[in-house]
Amino acid sequence: MVYTGLAAFTVWQWLPSQRTNPRQRSLGWIVAVSMILNAAWILSVQAGFLLVSVVVILALLVTLVLAFLRYSQSRAGSWVEAVVVDGTLGLYLGWTSVAVCANIAAALKAAGFEGFGLRPEIWSVGVLVVVAVVGIALAIKGHGRLALAAAIAWGLAWITVGRSADASESFPTAIAAAVAAALVLGAAITVRTRTVLERR
């Protein structure tokens, strides 16, 4: 879905009506850089260069946060722009936020990291707490943008499902992921509702 949205975003950027739109002009090069970093991340993961992939996806995250801060400063001019631009970039950032955690965990495991003697569940829950805090902060900063929160919650939901399976069962991790997803979605809906009421 993210890549479909990015294709739609690219077409939207090319429309003659968007050539003088300052909101679009400020985002074009940032999103282009993110696409290059995304391709580099995929290639590094496929090549097995996990440490390199961590550096790349962190750079991708920073780029998308910068884009988020830019488009959050103003409202979309139409519902189409809200879906194609704000919705796509929100999903993109939400997906990347969760993927960063998974990527770092995979790289540490491959490097033989043993968690300084702490149980894996403790590290997992700690990371999920950080994800929840970041998700709530982004919900507040972005005035309750639902696409972003939905993407983060979707990633956390998959963690919940994955850690509930027999092969990799971890009840504390599954519960923490589910709670984090609920908190992020709840924060976004609350902020969104409050923002809509204030505008009225």
The predicted-structure confidence for 116-125, as pLDDT tens digits, reads as follows 777 777 888 8
Average pLDDT, the chain: 86
- Judge if 120 and 197 occupy the same domain: yes
Domain span holding position 78:
1-111
Domain stop point among 96, 111, 126: 111
Domain count, the chain: 2
- Judge if 98 and 168 occupy the same domain: no
- Judge if 82 and 144 occupy the same domain: no
* CA gap 100, 178 in Å, rounded: 18
- Judge if 150 and 193 occupy the same domain: yes
- Judge if 66 and 142 occupy the same domain: no
Per-residue DSSP letter, 20: T
SS3 labels along 159-197: HHHHCCCCCCCCHHHHHHHHHHHHHHHHHHHHHHHHHHH
The predicted-structure confidence for 92-131, as pLDDT tens digits, reads as follows 998 898 889 888 888 887 878 777 777 777 888 888 999 9
Q: What's the predicted TM-score (pTM) here?
A: 0.81
Per-residue pLDDT band for 53 (boundaries 50, 70, 90) equals very high
